[in-house]
């Protein structure tokens, strides 16, 4: 019996398709560090990973995980909101960003009142599409079951609808892993591909 892949795993597989030699990546929501480690394992050559989180606990967890896997040298950690990615990524790397990952909501096992917010997420996504190289990809895993999650997901979905189709392709994936859940509590994976430069 085949296990259904989680949206996080699907996002990682999707990112692996486009991350090439000497290209860099952003983990906009480091959290427990698993996406950061995944990216650090896939960048090569001069490629680098830039990971962001507002919580020191999350960055400590990410740092520890990277250390266990000998990947600290491939990653820069930033204790700030993901809306600052364009300011924090060094200029010499800004033309080499081919992937950006988001895993929205809250840091598992921590204060559930600290969640990603629509305003800062939209600012971050706008920066991400500006930084992204042609052929690059953004993945957004959005959890809609917690307070504020559904609203954030809807705002992001509407923002994606407004992206110019000449420059971007948007696909949304959901799973039926929890078929008894209400429709508004189903997690979503949004994949944004940059087809042409703006």
**Per-position DSSP letters for 19-45, written without gaps between them:** --TT-EEEES--TTSHHHHHHHHH--T
> What's the pLDDT band for 1 if we cut at 50, 70, 90?
very low
Lowest mean pLDDT among 20-29, 63-72, 141-150: 141-150
pLDDT at 184 over 80: no
| pLDDT given for residue 94 in this prediction | 74
Q: How many other CB atoms sit within 10 Å of the CB of residue 64?
A: 13
Check residue 10 and give its pLDDT.
95
Taking the domains of the chain in order of start, what are their residue ranges? 21-177
> Which region among 78-82, 105-109, 130-134 has the lowest average model confidence (pLDDT)?
105-109
Q: Which tokens belong to 140? A: 């957004």
Strand segments, DSSP code E, in 54-131 are 75-79, 97-103
Neighbouring-strand partners of residue 50? 26, 76
Q: Give the pLDDT of residue 116.
A: 73
Question: Is residue 181 pLDDT above 70, yes or no?
Answer: no
Site of tokens 């957004």: 140
**C-beta neighbour count of 170 within 10 angstroms:** 16
**With respect to CATH, is domain 21-177 assigned 1.20.140.10?**
no
What pLDDT does residue 127 have? 94
């Amino acid at each position: 019996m085949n296990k259904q892949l989680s949206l996080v795993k699907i996002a990682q597989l999707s990112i692996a398709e486009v991350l090439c030699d000497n290209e860099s990546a952003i983990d906009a929501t480091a959290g427990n560090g698993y996406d950061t480690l995944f990216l650090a394992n896939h960048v090569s050559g001069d490629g680098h990973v830039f990971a962001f989180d507002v919580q020191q606990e999350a960055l400590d967890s990410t740092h520890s995980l990277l250390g266990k896997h000998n990947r600290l040298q491939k990653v820069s950690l930033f204790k700030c909101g993901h809306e600052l990615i364009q300011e924090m990524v060094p200029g010499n790397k800004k033309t080499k960003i081919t992937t950006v990952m988001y895993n929205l909501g809250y840091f598992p096992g921590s204060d559930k009142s600290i969640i990603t917010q629509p305003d800062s997420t939209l600012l971050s996504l706008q920066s991400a599409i500006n930084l992204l190289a042609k052929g690059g990809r953004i993945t957004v895993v959005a959890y809609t079951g917690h307070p504020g999650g559904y609203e954030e997901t809807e705002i992001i979905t509407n923002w994606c609808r407004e992206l110019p189709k000449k420059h971007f392709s948007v696909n949304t994936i959901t799973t039926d892993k929890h078929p008894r859940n209400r429709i508004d509590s189903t997690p979503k994976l949004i994949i944004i591909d940059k087809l042409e430069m703006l």
